[in-house]
Chain A
Amino acid sequence: MSDADAVGEGRPSRPALPSLPAVTRTRLLLAPLVLFDLLAFVVPMGYLLRVSLSERSTRQALVRGTWSVDGYRFLLESSLLRRVFVFTVLFAVVATLLAVGLGTAYAYAAWQASGAVRTVLLAGIVMSMFTTLVVKLFAALVVFSPNGVVNDALVASGLVGTPLRLINNEIGLVIGQLYVVLPYTVLSVYSVLTSLDEHLVEAANDLGATPARAAREVVLPHAVPGMAVGGVIAFAWSAGAFAAPALLGSKSELTVAVEVQNRLTSFEYPVAAALSVVLTTVVLAVLAAGLYGLRRRGGGHDV
């Protein structure tokens, strides 16, 4: 036994740990996270996939232990479900475009503002996130109902003769969904704008650009990563929207999530699962496309 070993043995308080190779140690440290991911996401998704590939039954939710693509076939064959799908994607696209557009404008206004105005604009966004979705949507119901504040104001100003129908239709659905996703698009755009040097806007003005031109030439290109991130969040959330359609839509505005709920309550588990799997795939594809586009364009941007 060499002297060095003797020294090592003189500290028996930490006997095992130092001998682990670095790679093993990293894996051990990652283990809890991997385990959580596995339990929270991979296992349920696997289970969902399995259910979607089970045989349908008229007497129970599904026939255990069977394999079948009936759920998916039904999805293709049912014109109702196709309509639901197309409507959902269309709705998600509209909500996303509006959320990104309005969110960018709002974030730009907050960024340009200073002092108290900026604080109020940002606090308004952040504080709206303190409330639960359902409460927010009921508030929207009150505000946009035929005898709500918005319609009262419109009628009083003489812009419209009779109150507009702003809820229980597509408009209500989109308004409700904007309530949900707008804070995220605003904050993701605002966060990239904070890294924009204000002198750049001044430099553009100085070289002859009007404020609108400077916004387009300088601010917008800088905001693109934030808009993309906000857009992906808005799209993923809108594609899976349940609360807004349930509360502010009507029977004719069915989204996939609402339809999944309908199928579950009528014990058609394979169809419900197949719907969920296809929706998840679409959202993942959009997410991947968004991130790929960003990486190709951005280069220097950390997203």
Chain B
Amino acid sequence: MTGVVELDGIRVTYGDVTAVEELSLSVRDGELFCLLGPSGCGKTTTLRAVAGFESPAAGRVVLGGRDVTGLAPYDRGCATVFQDWALFPNKTVAENVAFGLKMAGVPAERRRERAREQLATVEMTDHADDPPGELSGGQKQRVALARSLAVDPEVLLLDEPLSNLDKRLRETMQLEIKEIQERLETPMLYVTHDQEEAFTLADRIGIMNDGELVQVGAPRTVYDDPVDRFVEAFLGSTNFLSGRVVAGTGADTGVGPDAVAVEFPVAGLRTPVPAGDDLAVGDDVTASVRPEVVDLAPAVDGAAASTDGGAASEPDATGHADGRAILAGTVSEVVYRGSNVRHHVAVGDGAELFVERPVTDAPGLAAGDAARLSWDVTDAYHFGPDGARVRP
């Protein structure tokens, strides 16, 4: 046991519904761990099981080396920042912050002093005597944070604390929380459905789906190396192409003995996928081609020479040239999104891919233009029939 929080195979059920299934995770000392997942995936339930608001039907909750599975919330030594902040409306800001110390029997004088310190940390000293009802969302957020930190918790639990704030304030608060966390080194378990928020804040991310922890890792690792189709879809928008294995290993795929050939009917591609024995003929395969790896250029007709060297050489019968998949399409829409431009490109059969380019590097295509898409086949991620990643 090394972590401040150790969840050991916990299962939480509501009647017949299993909200969390056999979940184990560990929050290390001093780290900010984000539980990330879509709504209803069980991430908040997991947090509530740590806080003691839900009692797991199975498994153990260990906080700071102490098994707290059967203990009530007030005996656990963790503190929660709620989504709606849950400030006590009939107490002043300072009384809110001092509440936990009051419960712990700290003398009034010392409580006031500590509350003032905590309010200074979040720059709310001027509002010490205000009722919380008069504060703005961001100020309430700060008070809630100060109130939880005042009890010096073993671990701070945050349940989507920023989701009631507007985008700009949310980004400011993310940085503030990160800054406070790095300064105090209080371990935090942070629940969010917003992947950008998780990437901004987290030392490590745990991605949940359907009551299970799917993948745990540093933000970069998780993004670069998704374990399955769900993670790939959840972490950002991407293009999915459906295909099927048409030739098994050993067939002449041109990549090596371990590759299978996958045909993507929509794109007219027949791509070698290094899969070992993971895939058999007839298996459904999904390829993810992220919008930033796709190269977009005006179509080259026939013999017309390419403007950028060899990248525009003619594709072979499988739709590839020089290790790149090549696809012809028609631009259907160009959307300016501030710093980047998103191009939607119809590639036949009603299918559409989208490609993102920085505004400064846009190819200058307009709706209706013929275009040529290409990507390095090793940049695509492939997922098997069960959604698991097919690894080279």
Query: Interface residues, chain A, CB within 8 Å of chain B?
Result: 197, 199-200, 202-210, 213, 217-218, 221-222, 300
Contact = CB atoms under 8 A, between A and B. Distances in A.
Interface string B61-87: 000000000001110001110101011
A208 B99 CA distance: 9
B130 to A, nearest CB: 13
A200 B72 CA distance: 16
Contacts of B99: 204, 207, 209, 217
Contacts, number: 61
Nearest to A218: B88
B151 A197 contact: no
Rank and list the top 10 A-B pairs by shortest CB-CB distance, nearest first.
A207-B100, A208-B103, A199-B86, A203-B86, A205-B73, A221-B90, A206-B80, A209-B103, A208-B74, A199-B82
B147 interface: yes
A209 B88 contact: no
A265 B78 CA distance: 70
B336 interface: no
Most buried by A among B74, B78, B82: B74
Contact of B151 (A205, A207, A210, A221): A207
A204 B82 CA distance: 12
Given A218-B88, A300-B133, A208 B104 contact: yes
A288 to B, nearest CB: 24
Nearest to A300: B133
Most buried by B among A203, A210, A218, A221: A203
B51 interface: yes
B223 interface: no
Nearest to A298: B90
Given A199-B82, A213-B103, A300-B133, A206 B88 contact: no
Most buried by A among B52, B103, B147: B103
Most buried by B among A206, A208, A209, A300: A206
A203 to B, nearest CB: 4
Given A199-B86, A205-B72, A213-B103, 8 more contacts: A202-B51, A202-B86, A203-B86, A205-B73, A206-B73, A206-B79, A209-B103, A210-B74
A2 B84 CA distance: 62
A209 B74 contact: yes
A217 B84 CA distance: 19
Contact of A203 (B52, B82, B90): B82
Nearest to B157: A206
7 contacts: A199-B86, A202-B86, A206-B74, A206-B78, A208-B103, A209-B99, A213-B103
B86 A208 contact: no
A200 B90 CA distance: 11
Contact of A200 (B73, B74, B86, B148): B86
Interface in B200-246: none
B388 to A, nearest CB: 38
Contacts of B147: 207
A207 B79 contact: yes
Contacts of A218: 88
